[in-house]
């Protein structure tokens, strides 16, 4: 018989909310399993370079993201210049070394399954 337990939480009552210019990240933690999931709400005009870089003080985002876009659009450029744009229903695995920004005039809401543990924490 397994001793593993089912774990469940809601973004309606997150464990932590990190706010920054033009956005916020709502965090749910499952320390028993080492999992942290975040829901990002990024407003039009948000970009990693303008809104997060001043907090973390790195040249590009050093988090690895496994993301699902719920609404809005976001574009990501890797340090090597390759780009991808995503919208509702799109998924992406994004390695460290990138910049991202909201495209258009609608907020981008997305879920990140791997990159939120330290995202937007002051460096």
Confidence check: pLDDT of 87 > 70: yes
Confidence check: pLDDT of 1 > 80: no
Q: What is the pLDDT of residue 120?
A: 92
Confidence check: pLDDT of 94 > 80: yes
Q: What is the CA radius of gyration of the chain?
A: 15
CA triple 37-39-42, angle to 5 deg? 145
Model confidence over 26-84: pLDDT tens digits?
999 999 999 999 999 999 999 999 999 999 999 999 999 999 999 999 999 999 999 99
The DSSP line for 18-50 is: EEETTEEEEEEEETTTTEEEEEEEE-TT-BHHH
Confidence check: pLDDT of 108 > 80: yes
Q: What is the rounded average pLDDT for all residues in the chain?
A: 95
Q: What is the pLDDT of residue 3?
A: 73
d(CA 81, CA 88): 24
Q: What is the pLDDT of residue 2?
A: 66
Q: Are the beta carbons of 75 and 103 closer than 8 angstroms?
A: yes
Question: Considering the chain, what percentage of its residues have pLDDT values greater than 70?
Answer: 98
Calculate the CA dihedral of residues 113, 95, 17, 42 and round it to 10 degrees: -100
Domains of the chain: 16-112 (2.60.120.10)
Calculate the CA dihedral of residues 22, 103, 91, 14 and round it to 10 degrees: 10
């Amino acid at each position: 018989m397994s001793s593993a337990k089912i774990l469940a939480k809601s973004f309606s009552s997150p464990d932590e909310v990190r706010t920054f210019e033009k956005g916020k990240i709502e965090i749910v933690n499952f320390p028993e399993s080492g999992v942290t999931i975040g829901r990002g709400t990024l407003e039009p005009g948000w970009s990693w370079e303008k809104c997060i870089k001043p907090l973390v003080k790195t040249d590009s985002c050093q988090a690895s993201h496994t993301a699902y876009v719920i609404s809005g659009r976001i574009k990501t450029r890797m340090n090597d210049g390759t780009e991808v744009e995503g919208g509702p229903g799109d998924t992406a695995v994004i390695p460290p070394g990138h910049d991202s920004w909201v495209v258009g005039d609608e907020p981008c809401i997305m879920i990140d399954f791997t990159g939120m543990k330290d995202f937007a924490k002051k460096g």
